[in-house]
Amino acid sequence: MAGRWRKVSSSSANTHRAVEFEEVVRARRMTRAYAQTPVSEQTLTQCIDLALRAPSAGKSQGWHLLMFTNDEVMRYWDVALPEPDRGNFAFPSLLNAPVIMLSLVDTQAYLSRYSESDKKHTGLGDSLDAWPAPYWTIDASFSTMTLLHALHDHGVSSLFFAHARERELRVAFAIPNNVQILGVIAAGYPEDSVHRPGRSAQRPRRTPHDVVHRLKW
């Protein structure tokens, strides 16, 4: 065939993919009430695999998940929210979520990676204090957000929330000191009969005009 190669994908196909991505981003919500319907291991694995495509400084790849599914989930709640404290909990149906994942990051992975020959000249392998920003937290946040989007794209609702009782969690689940806990992800299928939005739900989102600064602050 003479001449230039034909394009494999058309502009209409690219537009379609852009629309799909926009729908995922705009439609994703934090869900606080769940049915007890299990999420398949295949779905979870596919979503986590997508999350591992997020950027990582030097491919240090220090992100980890500590996962509880189905009957295991109460092992998490028994530590994080003991039964005597549940009476005043604002979102009791959150405890029905069939998946709980602690989002973790191993800081030692960054020191080890930046002590290797191709990165040693940076000095970032010497100490976490040498880093201009906590890239371990940044990278793990990238992966966590990608996971939330992937779950939504697979029809699974999710919630990221702050962890409590960190010392107790570390002891109960043998989390090493060099592993930081970013927070907790609940995942599952929503309980449609229960809808109680978070207290911040009515706050307006900022616009690009609000957040973009040109040339100076």
Distance CA 45, CA 215 (A): 43
Instruction: Identify the helix (H) or strand (E) that includes residue 188.
Output: strand 179-188
Sheet containing strand 99-106, edge to edge, reads 63-69, 99-106, 179-188, 157-161
The parent domain of residue 106 ranges over: 29-192
CA-based nearest residue to 166, from 67, 80, 93, 101: 80
Domain membership of residue 164 (yes or no) is: yes
Distances (CA, A) of 175 to 36, 59, 74, 159: 27, 22, 18, 22
Look up the CATH number of the domain holding residue 72. 3.40.109.10
Cα 59 from Cα 158, distance rounded (Å): 27
Tokens of 159: 């919630």
pLDDT at 16: 65
* Confidence label for 106 from pLDDT (cuts 50, 70 and 90): very high
pTM of the predicted model, to two decimals?
Answer: 0.88
Please check whether residue 98 lies inside any domain of the structure: yes
Give yes or no for residue 1 having a pLDDT over 70: no
* CA–CA distances in Å: residue 106 to residues 110, 113, 129: 8, 12, 15
* Inside any domain, residue 18: no
Exposure on the CB side of residue 51, measured as CA atoms within 13 A: 27
Q: Report angle CA 146, 155, 26 to the nearest 5 degrees.
A: 60
* Residues 37, 165: Cα–Cα separation, whole Å: 27
Whether residue 176 lies inside any domain: the answer is yes
Confidence of residue 201 (pLDDT cuts 50, 70, 90): confident
Burial label, 39 (beta-carbon count in 10 A; 0-12, 13-18, 19+) = buried
List the single range of 11-25, 59-73, 174-188 with lowest mean pLDDT: 11-25
How far apart are alpha carbons 105 and 64 in whole angstroms? Answer: 6
Is the residue at 150 inside a domain?
A: yes
Query: 16 lies in a domain?
Result: no
> In this structure, is residue 10 part of a structural domain?
no
pLDDT at position 45: 98
d(CA 182, CA 101): 11
Confidence of residue 202 (pLDDT cuts 50, 70, 90): confident
Angle at 28 between CA 166 and CA 213, to 5 degrees: 85
Tokens of 24: 């995922």
Number of structural domains, the chain? 1
Is position 67 within any domain? yes
User: Which 8-state DSSP code applies to residue 38?
Assistant: P
Helix (H) or strand (E) holding 103: strand 99-106
